[in-house]
Structure 1
Amino acid sequence: MKTYAIISDIHGNSLALQAVLKDIASREANQIINLGDHVFGALESEQTAKLIRQVPMLCISGNTDREILENLDKSSDKENMERVKADLSAESVEWLKQLPPTTVCDDLFFVCHGTPDSDVEYLLEEVTPHGVFIYNDDELVRKTEQVSQRIILCGHSHVNRLVYLSNNKIILNPGSVGLPAYLGNGKHRFAMESMTPHAKYTLVKVDGDNINIEMIHCAYDWNTASTAAKANGSEKWAQFLLYGRMPKDLRVGE
């Protein structure tokens, strides 16, 4: 049997990452797979990048990792971007540059941040004027038809979900290690909420054809993380970190 730990969307939350890595070590996972969005946010970008590089794991790039690189030589009005760029070392920037957008692991997992073709689209969730819904089976089969691996790993939405498809494939989002909720402002205003402040990851245990999946919620000092986000000027992040949901004054439709 081989055990894989799937993590994603750390977003510079080193306290959450430390708790997750400690829990993973206690469970003796053979391989860590990291789905990207490593360092961007209101917390400890450089400290988090160093910690990730100290632990053997398979990493890909997320949309915010790409956005950091795209804005290295120009200013950005995206909240936290200038502070993150100033915090990152040259070594961390070079590490980000080496990350692939997708990869395959052991011919069992197809690893992407958003979808197989995009780091900004959601694989499982459809955002509509009426809220966020999970795509039906036919649509998910179509969206992943080019993937030959049985398990498709995705992040980006920060909400841990497991969907079994009619063609025997599995789509798994492990949830977010470091940011349990956020407010989206694309074509429609929407909320992504995991409903708890815990740091989230998933264990996949493979024994022949048998695949056991365990979604894990790790406690950590989210009060300290929230205070740090507020001190860095990100009141919204401070609230997201504390509750894993939208504060009442930010709720969509209210």
Structure 2
Amino acid sequence: MKRYAIISDVHGNLLALQAILADIQQRGIEQIINLGDHVFGALEPELSANIIRNTPHMLCISGNTDREILEALDVVSEKENMERVKADLSADTIAWLKDLPPTADCDGIFFVCHGTPESDNEYLLELVRPEGVFVHEDEHLVERTKHIAQPIILCGHSHVNRVVHLSSGKVILNPGSVGLPAYLGNGEYRFAMESMTPHAKYAIVSIDSKEQYHIEQIACHYDWNKASHVAKANGSVNWSQFLLHGRMPRDLRSK
């Protein structure tokens, strides 16, 4: 049986990254697929990047915040945390980010993207409406993925772990976020993405001798209290709350 660990959205959370990599190693899984958004956030970008860059057998693609870091290199950004992250990153990490592809194929089994096949900043599974966040209907997802040959489509970006089986026979898997279990979105509508626990999330896909796929969603314990303190010390009070609870604090819901 071949096994793959699927991770996404580390967002510079060193403690969470160390916890899931230790769990993956303990399970004897060698191949890791990383869906992007590696370093941006309120925590420890360069230390996290150094581990990711030096972890063997890890396929990595770019996420929207990886791209945004590169776009902001020569300008002063108003995005919270961006200037601190840029100052922390090494030349080696910047070069590595520049080389990351937006999508990838893995073994003819997985189509790998951060958001959607076409965009790193859109949700493949989720539909954001004024009344909340919903999962797209089967018909929409079948049409959206009909051009993809691989049977398993991997996506991140929303930070919410989901497995959706399509009537076409394909599977869409979001492993959730390693490093940020909730966040507040401010697109056309204000919305909350919430995984509802503070754990570091990832997924395991096992393929047996009959080429059948078995999917597990994993929630790893780590010291999220310490991570929350780091975020707060770096000036990100909201991030400190998201890390502690995996959901939106009441005071942010009411704004």
TM-score tier (shorter): over 0.9
- Report the counterpart of residue 121 of structure 2 in structure 1: 120
Shift of 1:39: 0.1
- Report the counterpart of residue 183 of structure 2 in structure 1: 182
- Aligned partners of 1:30, 1:136: CA distance in 2, in Å? 34
- Report the counterpart of residue 87 of structure 1 in structure 2: 88
- Provide, for residues 138-182 of structure 1, a one-character-per-residue CA deviation record: whole Å limited to 9, x for no partner: 000011111010000000000000000001100000000000000
- Structure 1: 5+ residue stretches without partners: none
- Aligned partners of 1:215, 1:111: CA distance in 2, in Å? 17
Percent identity over paired residues: 70
SS of aligned partner of 1:200: strand
- Aligned partners of 1:78, 1:53: CA distance in 2, in Å? 25
- Report the counterpart of residue 51 of structure 1 in structure 2: 51
- Report the counterpart of residue 26 of structure 2 in structure 1: 26
Say if 1:2 and 1:30, in contact at 8 Å, map to a contact too.
Answer: no
Q: Which runs of 4+ in 1 moved over 4 A?
A: none
Using structure 1 for the length normalisation, give the TM-score.
0.99
- Aligned partners of 1:62, 1:121: CA distance in 2, in Å? 11
SS of aligned partner of 1:132: strand
Using structure 2 for the length normalisation, give the TM-score.
0.98
Shift of 1:126: 0.2
- Structure 2: 5+ residue stretches without partners: none
**Aligned residue identity for 1:15:** L
- Report the counterpart of residue 104 of structure 1 in structure 2: 105
- Report the counterpart of residue 173 of structure 1 in structure 2: 174
- Aligned with residue 233 of structure 1, among 227, 232, 235: 235
SS of aligned partner of 2:172: strand
- Report the counterpart of residue 245 of structure 1 in structure 2: 247
**Aligned residue identity for 1:17:** L
**Aligned residue identity for 2:227:** A
**Aligned residue identity for 2:168:** N
Shift of 1:81: 0.2
- Report the counterpart of residue 218 of structure 1 in structure 2: 220
Alignment: residue pair count:
253
- Provide, for residues 74-118 of structure 1, a one-character-per-residue CA deviation record: whole Å limited to 9, x for no partner: 000000000000000000000000000000000000000000000
Query: What CA RMSD, in Å, does the superposition of the two structures yield over aligned residues?
Result: 0.7
